[in-house]
Chain A
């Protein structure tokens, strides 16, 4: 069978299936990672000392240990405590927690970059802490954290391929199975590479547009 025919008849349907699984991995992980990141980032800046220390150690652990090992711990390690996760659940859990740790770094940096005068002004208007955080600080911090967090989401798209290593068959996994059967590794993995390139490029395009859309004249420059 010639390459094109093979790709069209056999590879593409399987790869499409895998692609959809990849999307199902990426989207929830990105969202929950971001939520965790914001929560942890806020706690690391405004939390009480014990909570701060806990949040800090979470970040050190999840940024310092390779993601593959984290995935292995969730999938192969938890049964040690009689907890059994499906490959898909373990992947989403692993991605969210790891990604959240990275997001929190950007959120924390952004929060710390906001000038003291902003909080003083909010306090002087009678805002309570929660109101101040949600309506003054976060809107500014999110804009500053956006480039970093956006990058992290692009990393997540690429790292989603690691789900294959704990037997969650997504795009890379489908490709590996197909290629092992047909020995057309080069063709299959080039196609897969293109798929990822499209995803990452699309994501960076959207993020750049979002950054442009949210930008406030002169705000990004006054970073001190």
Chain B
């Protein structure tokens, strides 16, 4: 067996272990991005001038600065200055989550805006408060429309998670580099790491498509109704 192949086979369990770290970082960041992003979207669509302005600035800020700069700023900057003792893993999740919340808010905003205006009107007409109408009519519909955007956000987040290697999070990329510098099999190992990412992208997209089918409303296609 050629040397490069041996190196890959030897490193594979270690790399796959890293993919668990990657998956957990991505899942947690997506969750955080969802929890923060959805209220942002609702605020940006239905909020007053002040709320809208705040959301706009938030989105502009988190979409305008590179991930790597945020990672350094939060980990070496804020956490040191404020003397917060957290692991790189937590910082990675928080930073990826906050950036994702800015992007997710725009996905949800688009979905909300694409709903026919009559949905909200009909909810109000039966006496629902705006809060009830948004919670039980607008959001459930918007979330379904947001799944394709969400799937896109997943694949971006997955790839971005490799950057957290810069803080020393032991994900796929970090592990590949670790082994590579010891075995001098850089090329095969990075390629394997890349292959694992390709598989993870494929799996995640597939899972979200299944979810989309599962929650599909029979007969419904937006913009035709």
Contact = CB atoms under 8 A, between A and B. Distances in A.
Please say whether the chains A and B touch (CB closer than 8 A): yes
B215 interface: no
A160 B65 CA distance: 11
Interface string A181-210: 001011011101100110011000000000
A172 B166 CA distance: 12
Contacts of A81: 187
Contacts of A70: 194
Contacts of B202: 64
A176 interface: yes
Given A161-B69, A165-B68, A189-B77, 11 more contacts: A66-B158, A66-B160, A72-B177, A73-B190, A159-B66, A161-B67, A165-B163, A183-B80, A185-B72, A189-B72, A190-B73
19 contacts: A60-B198, A61-B198, A64-B155, A64-B201, A64-B202, A66-B162, A66-B163, A73-B191, A76-B177, A80-B188, A81-B187, A165-B163, A165-B166, A189-B69, A189-B73, A189-B76, A193-B69, A196-B65, A196-B69
A186 B10 CA distance: 41
Contact of A66 (B70, B73, B159, B166): B159
A186 B65 contact: no
A80 B186 contact: yes
Contacts of B72: 172, 175-176, 179, 185, 189
Nearest to A199: B64
B66 A186 contact: no
B157 to A, nearest CB: 11
A210 B26 CA distance: 36
Given A67-B159, A76-B186, A200 B197 contact: no
A66 B197 contact: yes
A202 to B, nearest CB: 10
Contacts of A193: 65, 69-70, 73
Interface string B18-43: 00000000000000000000000000
B187 A197 contact: no
Contacts, number: 126
B178 interface: no
A66 B76 contact: no
| Secondary structure of the B contact surface, majority rule | helix
Given A64-B197, A77-B186, A189-B73, A69 B173 contact: yes
Contacts of B78: 186
Interface of B: 60-61, 63-70, 72-73, 76-78, 80-81, 155, 158-163, 165-166, 173, 176-177, 180, 185-188, 190-191, 193-194, 197-198, 201-202
B193 A69 contact: yes
Contacts of B186: 72-73, 76-77, 79-80
Interface of A: 60-61, 64-70, 72-73, 76-81, 158-162, 164-165, 172, 175-176, 179, 183, 185-186, 188-190, 192-193, 196-197, 200-201
Contact of A65 (B161, B163, B198): B198
Contact of A196 (B64, B81, B160, B187): B64
Contacts of A172: 66, 68-69, 72
B60 A65 contact: no
